[in-house]
Amino acid sequence: MTELGNSPNPETAFDELTAQQQAAVIKFVTVDHIESQVSPQALPGTQMPGRYAPLAGISCWSGDEWVYGYNAFNVEMWEFYVVISWCDNGSTITTTYFPPTVRATVTSAGVFWSYKGIVGSSQSGGVGNFNWTVNEQGEFQSCLPKVGCIQSSYPWVQITAHANGTFSRTWGG
């Protein structure tokens, strides 16, 4: 797999493999499970610099979540990251920054994976409410030469910001 990933043209290198080797590559690049390394409990937000909260009594925060796609050998193929930012006065949310920051990365092991973009985005609550919920869903696709696309993954993240500077999150895919 390392030689294939380091090849200047992985598609040509894949074509030159035997059928048995190609089958092994397909097994290797198939995502078997997704994980996150955080718990869904409410966590304190990261306080943002003062320029985001020019008024007295206003605090600004950010909260984030990572989702990772792994193959059957527990090797990471891709990462999906969402971070939201908001300001509050302790009882209501005063400002939201939408859309959130989304980063998607294909790792060096995920040779034939590519990120296709956001396929779903929504928000509810927000300014004037105690909660603000943001949902983001991305799409990754694994396509091999002469084989075609063998798998799509749709990781999603839901982050709920609270007007007390905490946030909670769930994820799936």
Nearest CA to 138 among 160, 92, 106, 109? 106
Is the pLDDT at 149 greater than 90, yes or no?
A: yes
Q: What is the pLDDT of residue 2?
A: 57
Instruction: Tally the domains of the chain.
Output: 1
Question: Each residue of 23-38: pLDDT tens digit?
Answer: 888 888 889 888 886 6
Q: What is the pLDDT of residue 39?
A: 52
E strand residue ranges, the chain: 31-35, 43-44, 46-47, 59-71, 76-88, 93-106, 113-125, 131-144, 148-153, 156-162, 166-172
Q: Would you say 52 and 74 are in contact if contact means Cβ atoms under 8 Å apart? A: no
Secondary structure class of 15 (helix, strand, coil) = helix
Q: Domain residues for 59?
A: 2-172
* Full-model pTM: 0.83
Which of the residue ranges 53-67, 76-90, 92-106, 139-153 would you say has the lowest mean pLDDT?
Answer: 53-67
Is the pLDDT at 42 greater than 80, yes or no?
A: no
